[in-house]
Amino acid sequence: MRLLPRDSAIFDDVTALSEHVVAGAEVLARMLGASAADRSDLVERLAGLERAADDAARLVVRRVTSSFVTPYDRRDLVALAHGLDDCVDGLAVAAAVVAATGVGELPSAVVEQVALVQRQAELTSVAMGRLRTVRDLVDYWVEVRRLEHEVGRTHLAVLAQLHRAGPRGAADVLEALAVKEVADRLVAVARAFEELSRVVETIAVQEA
Residues 6+ apart with CB under 8 A from 151: 113, 116, 117, 186, 187, 190
Task: Give yes or no for residue 3 having a pLDDT over 70.
Answer: no
Task: Give yes or no for residue 45 having a pLDDT over 90.
Answer: yes
Residue 205 backbone dihedrals phi, psi, to 5 degrees: -65, -40
DSSP characters over 49-61: HHHHHHHHHHHHH
Which pLDDT tens digit goes with each residue over 10-40? 999 999 999 999 999 999 999 988 888 899 9
Domains: count for the chain: 1
Which of 44-58, 152-166, 176-190 is predicted least confidently? 152-166
Could you give the percent of the chain with pLDDT greater than 70? 93
Q: Give the domain extent around 135.
A: 9-207
23 found inside a domain: yes
CA–CA separation, 88 and 69 (whole Å): 28
82 found inside a domain: yes
End-to-end CA distance of the chain: 13
- C-beta neighbour count of 152 within 10 angstroms: 16
**pTM (predicted TM-score):** 0.92
147 found inside a domain: yes
140 found inside a domain: yes
- CATH code: domain of residue 60: 1.20.58.220
2 found inside a domain: no
CA–CA separation, 190 and 113 (whole Å): 9
50 found inside a domain: yes
Q: Which of 117, 104, 109 is nearest to 176 (CA)?
A: 104
According to the model, what pLDDT value does residue 2 have?
46
Task: Give yes or no for residue 114 having a pLDDT over 60.
Answer: yes
- List the alpha helices (DSSP H) in 67-137: 74-101, 108-128
187 found inside a domain: yes
CA–CA separation, 194 and 1 (whole Å): 32
